Chain A
Amino acid sequence: MKKSVILAGTLMVLGAFAASAQGVPATPAAAIEERTSIMSGVGDATRTGVRMAREQAPFDLDAARDVLRTYASAAERMPLLFPPGSETGGDTSAAPTIWSDRAGFERRFADWGAAAAGAVDGVSDLDKFRAAFGPLADGCSSCHGEYRVRRN
């Protein structure tokens, strides 16, 4: 009896560990916090990108590639951060369409992330960066229009 309790306990711990190794947050609140923080990083990257694209900041190849890498890694991580129970709460402005149209939501992130990752190596100057960055930045609004709600 005692053994089986210990075994069950061990399995639960192992299960939780395996889940966190795959990167699924332990609670809905943790998921909301992580996705909010990732999107805030995406916003910071976008500021860097826009400022370079508009020549309000000097073009820096490493910084430009970092913008694209930030997008790519966000796109990989974000779809895991909308578990059941995280529809509302905290600072979220997630729209119900994320859960009602999960496939569409995940496809948008996959396409956007692939475009960002695929552009990293080819971005060698400002013009090439602009060509890659423009459509990716436009993707913010088109995706937020469908999968995000307005908020104050």
Chain B
Amino acid sequence: MNRAAKRAVISFAALAAAGAGAFWAFTSPSLSRVEIATVAGAPDLANGELLFNAGGCASCHAAPGGDDRTNLAGGLALATGFGTFHAPNISPHREDGIGAWSVGDFVLAMRAGVSPDGRHYYPAFPYTSYQRMREDDLRDMFGYIMSLEPVAGRAPDHDLAFPYNIRRGVGLWKLVYLDGARFEPDPSRSESWNRGAYLVEAAAHCAECHSTRDFAGAIVPETRFAGGPEPDGQGFSPNITPHPDGVAGWSEAEMADLLATGFTPDFDSVGGSMAAVIRNTALLPQADIEAMAEYILSLPPRPTPPRD
């Protein structure tokens, strides 16, 4: 067991000593219940599809091995230091997927990481980013997912090591790491910069991979977008800040080209899980791709954190 894992175990032991009652009170998924305004109006399915692509839903929830991005049977296994997560079925199947959900259930899942039956989701599901999305966008995204084919079948349960297998413990994690804040546009910046910021920070959740995490699996703020090891330990998501360690010197056109084609300015084609990200971003309107490029190149330059 490495030092980080030991620290996590010690933290958990200390909390247990503080009292199981307190643990129970502080980990209640109802604490994560956020104010959900009524999401009125019919969903705009085209906007929902755009956000589905920007959000990279298919990268984890499309059935592995197939080419069909809209077969949302789940099943992708994500091996991490905490154990193996299995992406669930989010197709509109009533029993096995999310077909019986209301739009409010969907908003609660995306914002608070809580299931309709009141359980915490593990933050492998990147609600720490998705929480920043607008409600009308979430409604449209849900509408789009509900317009797809229902697929039967359930992914296996997550296979996690103690203490991470105590789902209730996610409640403590959320108290510290889930701020519940929405995306706030910066009026001093251009419309396209704000659009890019929204897509990068909220929907596309780029920082979830391109940052280094601490022992608790939370992003270390000074490494945000500056790169980090892949969760499965294979490879390293690169520094995407305009620092000499990262993408300093790239033009916005080159960054937009990467998001549209997967080619870097050296005509290297990005690999690993980024290839799947490109399959998502390549489908976005050119204006959105350019907005993301504009925002990424405006990030604070940060050095790449040291690797173990």
Contact = CB atoms under 8 A, between A and B. Distances in A.
B263 A151 contact: no
Given A150-B230, A150-B274, A152-B304, A141 B235 contact: no
A142 interface: yes
A152 B262 CA distance: 15
A111 interface: no
A88 B275 CA distance: 21
Interface string A90-129: 0001011000000000000000000000000000000000
Contact of A145 (B209, B227, B239, B271): B271
Which of A39, A43, A96 gathers most chain B CB within 10 Å?
Answer: A43
Contacts of B238: 150-152
A152 B303 CA distance: 12
Contacts of A144: 262, 269-272, 275
B271 A150 contact: yes
Interface stretch (A24-32, A44-52, A75-83): A44-52
Given A95-B272, A144-B275, A151 B267 contact: no
A119 to B, nearest CB: 19
A140 B236 contact: no
B276 interface: yes
Contacts of A151: 235-236, 238, 271
A149 B230 contact: yes
B234, B245, B269, B270: most-surrounded residue (chain A CB, <10 A): B269
For the residues of B in contact with A, the DSSP-based class is loop
B272 A141 contact: no
B245 A152 contact: yes
Contacts of A69: none
Contacts of B236: 149-152
A148 interface: yes
A1 B274 CA distance: 59
B273 interface: yes
Given A151-B236, A151-B238, A152-B227, A140 B272 contact: no
B263 A46 contact: yes
B267 A150 contact: no
A141 B270 contact: yes
B117 interface: no
Contacts of B35: none
A75 B266 CA distance: 20
Interface string B217-261: 000000000010010001111110000010000000000000001
Nearest to B264: A43
Contacts of B276: 145
Contact of A141 (B209, B230, B245, B275): B275
Contact of B262 (A39, A93, A140, A146): A140
Given A93-B271, A144-B269, A149 B278 contact: no
A134 to B, nearest CB: 11
B68 interface: no
Interface string B258-298: 00011100111111111110110000000000000000000
30 contacts: A39-B268, A43-B266, A43-B268, A43-B269, A47-B266, A50-B267, A95-B271, A95-B272, A96-B234, A140-B262, A141-B262, A141-B270, A141-B275, A144-B262, A144-B270, A144-B272, A145-B271, A145-B275, A145-B276, A146-B275, A149-B235, A149-B236, A149-B272, A150-B209, A150-B237, A150-B238, A150-B270, A150-B274, A152-B238, A152-B304
Interface of A: 39, 43-44, 46-47, 50, 93, 95-96, 140-142, 144-152
Given A50-B263, A144-B275, A152-B238, 12 more contacts: A47-B266, A95-B272, A140-B262, A140-B269, A141-B278, A145-B274, A146-B275, A148-B272, A149-B230, A149-B234, A150-B273, A151-B238
